[in-house]
Amino acid sequence: MKPIFKFSVLLTIAGLLAVAPGCKREEADFIGPAYISAPDGFAVTAFTATPSSVDFTSGTVAFNASFTHSVTWILTIRGEVSGAVYETKGIGNGFSNLIWKGTHTGVIFFRKGENAVATLSFYGTSLTASSTVNIVNVRNFAAYGYLPLYGDFENFINASYGPPIVYSPYWAHFNFPNPIPNVEQGADSNLLDYNGNIVPSVQGKQYYYIRGLGNQQVFVSGVQSHSNPPSLPATPDNVWVNMYIYGTGDPNAGVEIEYQEDDIDGDAAGYQGDDDDAFVARITLDHKGWKLFSFQYSKLTPSLNAAFGGSGNKIHEPDRIKSFDLVLVKKTNPNSPIEVYFDFPIITVGGPFDPSN
């Protein structure tokens, strides 16, 4: 019997050894943020914003805070008029010299002259602390790249044909001087969209809009910016075109944004639609609210229309951009009016426009 017992023991040990590797606990990295909730007795001992009034073209605001315990904190700055938001968070029993440069982490820009309320909140408690900063001047986001003249639409002037405010010498409106039937366009603020909702401003007080049915199956109207950009790099991978566009969720509404080049091998000076290139970004406006669209210039597609930018050398040459058009088009229903609102069409180098830094 002893040999049988020994053999059984050996089998049992071998089985345990075979199973043991499968039961080994593997090490794994922790994934996800760590949060520390505020315990009982937690309190904010100090929270200040310096200065309380700031010109962001030349200055910044420094926040300082201290707490009784180390916790996860959230600093949210919100414009009282614009609704713009800047948010940052961290872990600790306070922070020193946390700098705000007037940037925003949401879509909406802060507005000149408004108060911004900075609120400090924490996980695990409803306790908050707040401080108010007056914005004398906003940050100069135009310095982040190239913004066409009057590209913020704040200083358009009345033309002789009256309101709404629709005229600038650097913007050509497709419905002027010959009006397009069933179209209205220009610069304005707080308009009602076709759904009855107020279209708020995304940057400053005004934006540009085009809306209506037009008198063609697809084309409604458009606008052209023809203030020549400064010298841009010749490398299309390094150039980005950016624009804020408001949508109402209508899949019938679309825009074609055409960046027009003066090709070196063209027959005439300047951009000629039947002689040069136009590179196009096509967007369906089925989103709701304001959204920042950014496109790498090398990813834009050549115009398919030989008479309007489809007759160039088909080479992306951002250093030869002379102008751009925004054209409003009906995509699915030629009998339904559509609309677009846009603002801040900025060209950036090295990456997309990022107002959060």
Question: What single string gives the DSSP state of each residue in 179-241?
Answer: PPTTEEEEEESSEE-TTS-EE--SSSS-EEEEEE--SSSSEEEEEEE-S------S-GGGEEE
Residues recorded for the chain:
357
Which amino acid belongs to residue 185? Q
Per-residue pLDDT of the chain (357 residues; tens, 9 = 90+): 334 333 333 333 344 334 344 444 344 444 445 899 999 999 999 999 999 999 999 999 999 999 999 999 999 999 999 999 999 999 999 999 999 999 999 999 999 999 999 999 999 999 999 999 999 999 999 999 999 988 999 876 544 444 444 456 688 889 888 899 999 998 899 999 999 999 999 999 999 999 999 999 999 999 999 877 778 999 999 999 999 999 999 999 999 999 999 876 555 566 655 567 889 999 999 999 999 999 999 999 999 875 565 566 789 999 999 899 999 999 999 999 999 999 999 999 999 999 999
Identify whether the C-beta of residue 343 lies closer than 8 Å to the C-beta of residue 152: yes
Identify whether the C-beta of residue 148 lies closer than 8 Å to the C-beta of residue 345: yes
pLDDT of residue 24: 44
Q: Which two tokens stand for residue 223?
A: 């606008």
pLDDT of residue 167: 54
| Assigned CATH topology for domain 44-139 | Immunoglobulin-like (2.60.40)
Q: List CB contacts of 271: < 8 A, sequence separation 6 or more.
A: 260, 261, 262, 322, 323
Name the H helices within the chain.
2-19
The architecture CATH gives domain 143-349:
Sandwich (2.60)
pLDDT of residue 20: 42
* Segments making up each domain of the chain, as ranges: 44-139, 143-349
Identify whether the C-beta of residue 273 lies closer than 8 Å to the C-beta of residue 309: yes
